Amino acid sequence: MSTATTTTSAHAPSVGTGHTRVEGRDKVTGAARYAAEVPFAGLAHGWLVLSTIARGRIRSLDTEPVLAMPGVLAVLDHRNAPHLNTDYTGLMGLRPDPTCAVFQHDRVPHLGWPVALVVAETSEQAREAAETLVVHYEQEPHHVELSGDHPDAHPVDGHEPAVTEKGDLDARLASSAFVVDAEYTTPEEHHNPMEPHAATARWDDGRLEVTDSNQGVTWVAGELQNLFSLDPASVRVRSEHVGGGFGSKGVRAHQVAAVMAATLLQRPVRVALTRRQMFALAGHRSPTVQRVRLGADADGRLRALEHRSVSRTSTVYEFVEPSAGVARVMYDADAHHTANHVVPLDVPSPTWMRAPGEAPGSFALEAALDELAEKCGIDPIELRLRNEPETGPVSGLPFAGRDLAACFREGARRFGWADRDSRPGVRREGRWLLGTGTAAASFPAGAQPSTASATAHPDGTFTIRISAADIGTGARTALTLIAADALQVPPERIRVRIGDSDFGPAGIAGGSMGTRSWSWAVKAAAGELRERLALGAGLPAQGLTVRSDTTEAVEALGPAERHSYGAQFAEVAVDVTTGEVRVRRMLGIFAAGRIVNPLTARNQLLGGMVWGISMALHEEAARDRASGGVVGADLAGYHVATHADVPRIEAGWIEDTDPDDPVGIKGIGEIGVVGAAAAVANAVWHATGVRHRSLPIRPDRVLAAAAGAPDA
Amino acid sequence: MREFGYQRAYDVAGAVALLDAAPDTRFLGGGTNLVDLMKTGVERPARLIDIRELPLDRIEVTAEGALRIGATVTNGDLAAHPEVRRRYPALAQAVLAGASGQLRNMATVGGNLLQRTRCGYFTEVSQPCNKRAPGSGCPAVAGEHRNHAILGASDHCVAVHASDMAVALTAFDAVVHYETADGPGELPLADFYLPVGDTPHRETALPAGALITGVTLPPAPVAAHSRYRKVRERASYAFAIGSLAAALDIRDGIVRDARLAFGAVASRPWRASAAERVLTGAPAVPETYAAAADAELAAARPLPRNGYKVDLIRNLTVTVLTELAEEAAR
């Protein structure tokens, strides 16, 4: 290895070239430790006790016999738990979901609400004691069923306004040559990351240290600091390796309960969730009922567009799944109405789940577009190209790069779309009916303020420190490449350390903003370090460190419609005698800004598309009306696509950039799932001639359609 | 979970004696179902007797030409055995249609027969369930029952048996052998699973304290031309929503012999005897297969949300028998 701290020779860029994960070897050999595997001396184990009623109050808890059980150290519940502060606004500008403020009152707002934590010397003892604890409830009638015309539905602003309206919808629909008016539904879905949520809390010399698995240490540290009314400097959260998050790994009951127990017992306490508990405690995506009305003139140009979505939230927190928002970006019309409504029910609070809003919203809107194409007799791609807006349909703002048309052109070429016979239900291969479908995709491209530091060491290596989270995306590797180019050195000389709130504030791994936000800060710090070194700055033994803070730069971004785009293609085979639907091949072409690491980028895009297959055909939590809970709350009952469900799948991208981003990144975390389910559903129509407007497209629904039920 | 004792048995008599000696004891085979149920609290044994070291891991052809399959033969070994593949291809296909490679390498033949239903109410201890907690009720009747029984169920329980393997074994008249402290015994698989009635918690006719030692498949030339078809909600690694094991012997366009069993339609593998009666001696044409399916499904009592299974089983019967007939004609 060279001992030079900088190099003046021509440097081959690392960004844009494929690199395997820098921690890949640690992960496949088991050397990488996940949150529940990090050892601590004197560790105690907490086990959450969840309510078995969906609404009511706790009358009493029989804690005495449990405290006498082997190894049991304590039982925490609403009678002895420390008071939490919930009167604050967190990192995302949001009030906390009271779901994480455990043991503060005797109310039970949903099945699976945490009512106690049993702490014991071993995990097995804690579990047995927790399952033995008898809780007496005063049960009240509960309601968990969502419907499109629910009387309690009301508009709710989320990260975007609830309602947008322009033009006279009824008049435009009445004067349209072609009209589509259809209701689409999507089911309750759960994140189900491979690694269940787990946290260990301990006090170390007056500082709270939490070893966690989360999507942002700054975020979780801030929430814990607020909840427990602590000094910011006295909370440290670490999260080195994360086995998936998908929106579910923020602050949740287990971290808060662990901190309470560690405080009470003054020893390290770990709380891990079981897969079954995750169905109640990790958040989920609400089911949606969406109505889409489209009116077009004879040549397919949209004159009227209405997209109304109703989703479900808990009775303690208003979370909106903003499915109607996708139309505000994708298509314009003289009359353009969108609305996101919410119904509070006796269920756990939903939360962000991969492509919140866009995933279910694109299913309804892009399926409706396909129905319009059929009615107009226009090719589905041509219909979309004819409706490309000049400016933001609702905002009127210019688009900062909108390459949807290029995605469709490239996708159509690679998929062989030009040869497609548009007639439905006419291709057969043995017992299978074959069809192809397409759909458009978009997802916002945002950035969050972040800080980073870059240190040059005398041995010619560099250390980057940033409170980033690698939730399986390859962020650690991407940041290594960004730093290598900014320092103009090979990536082997860079060590990137992430997942420690002591590294300073940074954005979350969420909203497809993680790698973009962190890259911005890393490039700034590393770039300035290189300049300082080039100017001949001396290198003390402890190295030279430069810090960056992108707050001003991010806030200075001008108003514009900033999004990634994509074109999804699917070919399916359907056996209408058994109801089986199999995806035969899938292609997604994306315009998603600059691609930092093609290897991990493809991985993320394909992962999103596989989620789309799951969403179209498999995923669905069955919420039981009688109990209010999920039936089959495990991975045998909740199906995701297996390898056998994912045959030939390809993702590609076109040259694209964000001119206002120092690296040109837009973000690729979520765009892969958007539109994917619609492409599959549209292909099922093309195969069978039947529109499936409710997801997932299960065998029983296909069979019902074959038996003559109209539009299953 | 409850703390439990663990002991390993090395011979059949020893295993039976260990079970007899202590209450609340279970045999542990591959553990692919029992251990899951212990984690969720559905099963809470005080002690496990590990029987994987018993000398019951062989597949042998008997002097009478039957196939004798030891109880601890793994599902993976069963499906790979040349005699099974040659003489009972539907059995090999059924086993391979179940679970995953890893699970099949652990799961045993005896354990497979005794696996419990995957009904979501049965596996969630906070829910009522007549099978798990007799008398507590069956929420599935009015609740989530899309994958529940259409045949042979009662108001007390509508759960389905989860095994693929047992469907093929049922079609081929398998006999279950067991050992108790009083000596050996045997039960035809047709009588092995008890009717649901008002005692869904009583699942098999095995005497108390019995250890399954093996399964015998009698010689059945018709089985050499057989097939297992499984339909599930994804392409792999899911329990059936409907399945079928079928064998056909056709000569001169007439069905001479037929075996048919359905899976995922009842609390046990469902031998379609009424359908077999229609098939035997009838012309080998799709109309016959449809009539056979209808004869069996006349007894179907679907719930509000599982009526699709009637169509599914009917379609599967016609399709698979047609395929078998076409292959035989070649």
Q: Which of B233, B235, B308 sits opposite A703 (nearest CB)?
A: B308
Q: Tell me if A645 and B41 make a contact (CB, 8 A cut-off).
A: no
Residues of B in contact with A642 (CB under 8 A): 234-238
pLDDT higher than threshold 80 for residue A544:
yes
* Chain B residues in contact with chain A using a Cβ-Cβ cutoff of 8 Å: 1-3, 40-41, 118, 120-121, 123-124, 126-127, 139, 142-144, 146, 231, 233-239, 241-242, 305-306, 308, 311-312, 315-316, 319
Q: Is A465 on the interface with B (CB under 8 A)?
A: no
| Residues of chain B contacting residue A582, judged by C-beta atoms under 8 Å apart | 235
Nearest CB to A627; choose among B139, B236, B306: B139
Listed by number, the residues of chain A in 3-42 with a beta carbon closer than 8 Å to a beta carbon of chain B are none
Q: Which of A592, A174, A179, A530 has the alpha carbon at shortest distance from A374?
A: A179
Q: Distance between CA A397 and CA A390 in Å, rounded?
A: 9
Asked whether residue A1 carries a pLDDT value surpassing 60, the answer given is no
Mean per-residue pLDDT for A66-86?
A: 98
Does A644 sit within 8 Å of B311, measured CB to CB? Answer: no
Q: In terms of C-beta density within 10 A (0-12 exposed, 13-18 middle, 19 or more buried), how is residue A710 classed? A: exposed
Q: Are A625 and B143 within 8 A, CB to CB?
A: yes
Predicted local confidence at residue A19, as pLDDT: 97
**Count of helix runs (H) and strand runs (E) in chain B:** 12, 12
Mean pLDDT of A573-579: 98
A700 contacts B308? CB cut-off 8 A: yes
**CATH hierarchy code of domain A24-32+448-555:** 3.30.365.10
pLDDT at A5 over 70: no
Cβ pairs bridging A and B (under 8 Å): 101
Find where tokens 């698979």 sit: B320
Q: pLDDT averaged over chain A?
A: 96
Whose structure tokens read 């435009």? A172
DSSP per-residue letters across B1-65: ----EEEE--SHHHHHHHHHHSSSEEEESS-TTHHHHHHHTS---SEEEE-TTSS---EEE-TTS
Q: Is the pLDDT of residue B45 over 50?
A: yes
pLDDT digits (tens, 9 = 90+) for B228-272: 999 999 999 999 999 999 999 999 999 999 999 999 999 999 999
Would you list the DSSP string of A140-185? --------TT-TT-EE--SSS-SEEEES-HHHHHHT-SEEEEEEEE
CATH annotation of B231-329:
3.30.390.50
Q: Do residue B312 and residue A127 have CB atoms under 8 angstroms apart?
A: no
- Interface predicted TM-score (ipTM): 0.97
Cα–Cα distance for residue pair A137/A574, rounded to 1 Å: 48
User: pLDDT category, A158, cuts 50, 70, 90?
Assistant: confident
Tokens of A197: 């949520």
Torsion angle (degrees, nearest 10) of CA A23, A29, A32, A33: 160
- pLDDT at residue A147, rounded to an integer: 95
- Measured between beta carbons, the chain A residues lying within 8 angstroms of B40 are 276
Active-site residue among A188, A561, A619, A670?
Answer: A670
Which DSSP string do the residues of A329-394 spell out, in sequence order? HH---SEEEEEEEEEE-SSPPP---SSTTHHHHHHHHHHHHHHHHHHHT--HHHHHHHT--SS-TT
Contacts of B3 in chain A (CB under 8 A): 124, 128
DSSP state of B193: B
pLDDT at residue A10, as a whole number: 61
Q: Which has the closest alpha carbon to A199: A79, A281, A291?
A: A281
Residues 120-139 of A with CB under 8 A from B: 124, 127-128, 131
How far is B308 from chain A, CA to nearest CA, in Å?
6
CA dihedral A569, A574, A580, A582 (to 10 degrees): -30
Residue B29 has pLDDT above 70, yes or no: yes
Scanning every residue of chain B, which has its alpha carbon at the shortest distance from the alpha carbon of A125? Answer: B1
**CB–CB contact B144 A703 (8 Å):** no
pLDDT tens, position by position, B110-149: 999 999 999 999 999 999 999 999 999 999 999 999 999 9
Q: For residue A684, how far is the Cα from the chain centroid?
A: 26
Angstroms from B242 CA to nearest CA on chain A: 9
Chain-centroid distance of CA A28 in Å reads 25
Judge: B126–A578 Cβ closer than 8 Å, yes or no.
Answer: no
Class (C level, CATH) for B5-50? alpha beta
Spell out which residues of chain A touch residue B305, defining contact as CB-CB under 8 Å: 700
Interchain contact, A632 vs B144, CB within 8 Å: yes
Mutate to test the interface with B, among A578, A638, A639 (most CBs of B within 10 A): A578
Task: List the structure tokens of A378.
Answer: 């226009």
A6 pLDDT above the threshold of 60: no
Report CB contact under 8 Å: B241, A699. yes
How far apart CA A653 and CA A502 sit, in angstroms, is 36
Give percent of chain A above pLDDT 90. 95
Q: How do residues A134-150 score in pLDDT, each as one tens digit?
A: 999 999 999 999 999 99
Residue A2, chain B, CB below 8 Å: the answer is no
Report the percent of chain A where pLDDT is more than 70: 98
Q: Report CA-CA distances (Å) from A268 to A39, A41, A42, A48.
A: 10, 8, 7, 16
Q: Residue B1: which of A128, A641, A642 has the nearest Cβ? A: A128
CATH no. of A357-370+399-446+557-712 = 3.30.365.10
The DSSP bridge pattern shows strands A154-155 and A335-344 to be antiparallel
Contact between B126 and A706 using a beta-carbon 8 Å cutoff: no
Contacts of A636 in chain B (CB under 8 A): 118, 238-239
Chain-chain contact of B235 with A645 (C-beta, under 8 angstroms) = yes
End-to-end CA distance of chain B: 57
Percent of chain B with pLDDT over 70: 100
Question: What pLDDT is attached to residue A160?
Answer: 87
Flag the least confident range among A150-159, A479-488, B169-178: A150-159
- Strands A269-272 and A163-166, sheet pairing: unpaired
* Residues of chain B with C-beta less than 8 angstroms from the C-beta of A641: 234
Q: Which of B124, B158, B314 to mutate: most A Cβ within 10 Å?
A: B124
- Structure confidence at residue A707 (pLDDT): 82
DSSP conformation class of A108 = E
Q: How far is CA A481 from the centre of its chain?
A: 24
A534 in reach of chain B (CB within 8 A): no
- Whether A110 and chain B come into contact, CB under 8 Å, resolves to no
**A216, A510 Cβ separation under 8 angstroms:** yes
Assess whether A165 carries a catalytic annotation.
no
Q: State whether residue A579 sits within 8 Å of chain B by CB.
A: yes
Based on the number of CB atoms within 10 Å of its own CB, is A10 exposed (0-12), middle (13-18) or buried (19 or more)? exposed
**Hey, is the C-beta of A261 within 8 angstroms of any chain B C-beta?**
no
Q: Shortest Cα distance from B86 to chain A (angstroms)?
A: 26
Q: Identify whether the C-beta of residue A614 lies closer than 8 Å to the C-beta of residue B267.
A: no
Q: Give domain limits for chain A.
A: 24-32+448-555, 357-370+399-446+557-712
Determine the pLDDT at residue A2: 37
List CB contacts (< 8 A) between A617 and chain B. Answer: 233-234
* A643 in reach of chain B (CB within 8 A): yes
Cα separation, B300 vs A25, whole angstroms? 55
Alpha carbon of B32: minimum distance to chain A alpha carbons (Å): 13
Q: Which two tokens stand for residue B241?
A: 């929503």
Contact B231 A276 (CB under 8 A): no
For A189-205, the pLDDT digits (tens) are: 999 999 999 999 999 99
- Yes or no: say if A255 and A117 are a contact pair by the CB < 8 Å rule: no
pTM value is 0.97
**Residue numbers in A near B311 (CB within 8 A):** 703, 706-707
B238 to A629: CB separation less than 8 angstroms, yes or no = no
Task: Give the pLDDT confidence of A599-624 residue by residue, as tens digits.
Answer: 999 999 999 999 999 999 999 999 99
Residue A57 clears pLDDT 60, i.e. is over it: yes
Average pLDDT, chain B: 97
Is the predicted pLDDT of residue A125 greater than 90, yes or no? yes
Q: How do residues A580-596 score in pLDDT, each as one tens digit?
A: 999 999 999 999 999 99
Determine contact: A535 vs chain B, CB below 8 A: no
